[in-house]
Structure 1
């Protein structure tokens, strides 16, 4: 059914179609509308046989989710930014215990300085916590991938994080083709937990494990992620056969077959990249892109295959590890370690900074001429940076970097020079 709706409400309806039995909710921008929408559906009776639990923190939200999943209930929650940091211990516990929870991350920058706008630092901070991480380009993908996430999680007994760009997707109104309940019931069977707390058959879950067995337990967690490399495309194909739409999977490509310059990215920026590629293709340039849909597990074989004929790779990402560089680029370089192709790392869109077509054209011009440095910050104001560095060199008590930068660019009134 075609609807014009906000991304968050579309995700709420998609989650409801999966018939969750427990929803653990704590509000944090920009995911709040998702759990609000689900709360309204539970209260009205539209979503039946579901317990909606308001909690006092993000840590509590996932902790309650761990308990409900262990008790055999299909469980969902959502978070963003500082919220995922607050629940970090529970994030590791959920995956370590092999509990198939589905959680939306409405991607948002992490402070300090305080920033509520979009980048992907939050979910990337948990990239090695043992969760499957699926990234969405559009709200339609977000609808479809959330439904697929429940099946992936429950088949493997692994939690799944569905990542969608905050505000850019969560608050955008778009046309959505919402599946019918009968289609989803055909696609997603009732939850049959691999492990469950049962008073009639008591077991321990989350037991202490010493050196004699810890390596094997962690290895088996890795094996489940490797199994996901086969399962994720299979589930996407099953979904396409029922719903009639291609979404999900490990990667997607766009005009990549003969591309000499190949751009790799993830999330909503792929749409802008495609527009720029179309413009440059009209001028005869061989350029294409690869969208990473599954960041964990990382699709090494698919990346290698997609990049086999490229002369250069540009990895554009909305996050980076301070002191090292791009996290996505590091994984791409590892995947292409046997291929003699330069990989340029571009950091863009931090804290919600717009990634414009003009900036991308300038970037791709430099890339085509092989003039990019290994680590490049798109639209970095070098003059402002140098001014702050000089301030620090001259004054040991130079003050807060964040406030100094805001004064330099005129965003706040100057009170110190």
Structure 2
């Protein structure tokens, strides 16, 4: 294969990066499977697998419980992992809370606000309380993880969901969002990068406008933290969530970021061991963040694996990662734009987008498109991508999505485009003039 600028990430060739990932070990075939589903779940480098294995084989012990040397060592590794993750997203250690995944993290915020609205948490939590008629602003492009929890909050409090509508490509603007904010807006929740369209939102500008309206800003950072430089403190958001399994890390662990003073006031969604300072039969007093939110035994090896993923990505450089993936997306979009009967969802050719591209093929269901690609050795995601309102607004049931990470090659982008171009002919649809 000929190596181009698109086959380098920073100072390393993608060919060499792929050697770090056991999943891409030679299978003996001339053309290995093209893995273009990293937006759903990324592959893991040996450094991450080794970090988890080393902990489990040599350092396994309870954390924050007991006074043994083993517990102390395990706790140090666990908390060092928290520090690595905090540094990666530009915040303090106490502002990083472990969750099961990003969906869980967003639910922790929503449930805490619902509890505060019911009077739980006392005077400190009252700042979060919603009243009937208060407004929760969401975009029509949100993943269900950043929609359903807010629907539940609205049902419990009498607040109402106010949508930011998308255009015919599934894209919205900061002006669209600003136009729906009112004096009743209390929460503004949105994704930095859409998992369907690849649109990149101007987070800091949105946070500034939302705060002028007295709103809390909740960021879904699932498709941004793994793929581009992120600084939550500089953004000015109040809460944010992301998952390890999309950023070369383990399953079963996610991250909730919250500004320190807000986390210390937010009622914990789950309660139990390790979260308290004092318990009687009648009441409990909770620790400061982050431990007030981390009830029960935590995903310790996964946290250590996530920290290893952070260090791996830092070694490559997030500016380089973003540039590589955006080049992949531009290559795919330019290629798809020349295919008759294929619709590009999201930013159009020449417009900036993150490293994922979703398409709709006229006359062919996305599941059939995905099966055709799969038989050609190309792994993609098909369906509504947990974003039914967005697909409904676009008038389509499902899309086919190709997405990149540090190990994705230019050849894989070209294979996706060329194979996609064969789909309509295979299903007997007439080729239209482009």
TM-score, scaled to structure 1: 0.29
TM-score, normalized by length of structure 2? 0.28
